Amino acid sequence: MIGRLNHVAIAVPDLDAAAAQYRDTLGAEVGPPQPEPDHGVTVVFITLPNTKIELLHPLGADSPINGFLEKNPSGGIHHICYEVDDILAARDALKASGARVLGSGEPKIGAHGKPVLFLHPKDFTGTLVELEQA
């Protein structure tokens, strides 16, 4: 069902400092900040030869990243994103197997302009999983 790894998302308390660290210290290709109001985050994508890193920073008081950063003030890995060929078929198969889809269960448009869903971390060894239609 899952395809290639699309990205690993890291919540950060200081987006500019984190982007600079990847760019200046690690020599990575760092994209511009991209506000995603529907998801309550600002993201910066770091392009690697085989995948991406997504830096997440809260956008607004209701951001889901605020709670994560309260528990992890230095930041940390927030979720992992896998590609799927058909997000609705993947959702239905996962739900049939007992996995919980967060939110309404309907895909939202993610930072790459493609439909995404999130799966409950308690169903995936403590890892928040994002699925993105390839």
| Mean pLDDT, residues 11-15 taken together | 98
d(CA 40, CA 29): 24
Q: Return the pLDDT at 13.
A: 98
Marked catalytic residue, from 29, 36, 54, 130? 130
Q: Which residues contact 25 (CB under 8 A, 6 or more apart)?
A: none
Can you give the CATH number for the domain in which 70 is found? 3.10.180.10
pLDDT digits (tens, 9 = 90+) for 22-63: 999 999 999 999 999 989 999 999 999 999 999 999 999 999
Q: Which domain holds residue 32?
A: 2-133
Could you confirm whether 130 is annotated as catalytic? yes
Mapped onto helix, strand or coil, the DSSP state of residue 66 is helix
Q: Tell me which H or E stretch contains 54.
A: strand 52-58
What's the domain count of the chain?
1
Q: Return the pLDDT at 81.
A: 98
